[in-house]
Structure 1
């Protein structure tokens, strides 16, 4: 990012980018290049036509007000609950119903196949429910003993 960003919200709550020439681009969408492995690095601001208007190397390098606007946009679009504990699974074969405690509360979901659990390295996992909701496990080795025991049956 070579020039400072001028981000704001209009009266309708849409994100507006004012470029170096003073042109306002309404309805800008921030898109992370690596949303899971490096969420702070590489963010593209895309216009309504799908073309990139600006590139941000690091979110942490932005002023607090600009970063806050982008964080609000990501929070409204991104939904990836973090599994804190696996309470129970209905069966050790798939499909199976899982009851988990997440950072957003308790929930149940159906795991269709073992392939719906993706390993990302360093103990990180993504678990996709039958409804397409993706749950993240930042470190499977840090889970409690009961959760690890249940999870190991599927890995």
Structure 2
């Protein structure tokens, strides 16, 4: 009979608690993806409040369901990265400019300070930072519609 070497749970205040193999409790831990954009299931670290890793899951597939549910709840609260599906309008082709976009979370308007706020992550994946510091993702710039591609190409 195998015994669990660790345990992940919530305390009465709703904080995540990680109990390690030695029985030490780490209160207020949070999960962090190793590669949140390019490979979100590749690995998740459990970090304590000072940023020190207390446990490493090499693959999401090996995480027990009850722990995975807690991790996903916590990540959903921490990770906010809307995916841009369409660029409908830009105010000007010079920066700064205002962009009207449609995301997986609905339509919105962002302000692009400069062309350097559009970063290629890998392949055709782009990360766009608006003037408020929010990050927007374009998973595959080649999959955008014709109008969106034309508008985006003016800034790259």
TM-score range with shorter-chain normalisation? over 0.9
Separation (CA, whole Å) in 1 of partners of 2:100 and 2:26: 44
The residue that corresponds to 2:66 in the other structure is 65
1:54-107 Cα offsets, whole Å, 9 max, x none, are 111011221222111111111111111000111100011110000001011111
1:146 paired with 2:147, answer yes
Separation (CA, whole Å) in 1 of partners of 2:154 and 2:6: 49
Separation (CA, whole Å) in 1 of partners of 2:69 and 2:137: 23
> How do residues 5-154 of structure 1 correspond to structure 2 at under 5 angstroms?
5-154=6-155
Normalised TM-score (structure 1): 0.92
In structure 2, relative to structure 1, the CA distance for the partners of 1:8 and 1:101 (3 Å cut) is same
Q: Bigger CA drift: 87-96 or 48-57?
A: 48-57
1:81-138 Cα offsets, whole Å, 9 max, x none, are 0001111000111100000010111110110111110012321000000111010000
In structure 2, relative to structure 1, the CA distance for the partners of 1:117 and 1:49 (3 Å cut) is closer
Q: Is the Cα contact below 8 Å between 1:60 and 1:67 reproduced in 2?
A: no
The two structures, once aligned, show a CA RMSD in angstroms of: 1.3
Q: Bigger CA drift: 5-14 or 44-53?
A: 44-53
Q: Is the Cα contact below 8 Å between 2:38 and 2:122 reproduced in 1?
A: no
Contiguous gaps of at least 5 residues in structure 2:
none
Q: Bigger CA drift: 48-57 or 67-76?
A: 48-57
Report the count of equivalent residues: 153
SS of the residue corresponding to residue 41 of structure 1 reads coil
Separation (CA, whole Å) in 2 of partners of 1:18 and 1:125: 38
Normalised TM-score (structure 2): 0.92
Q: Is the Cα contact below 8 Å between 2:84 and 2:104 reproduced in 1?
A: yes
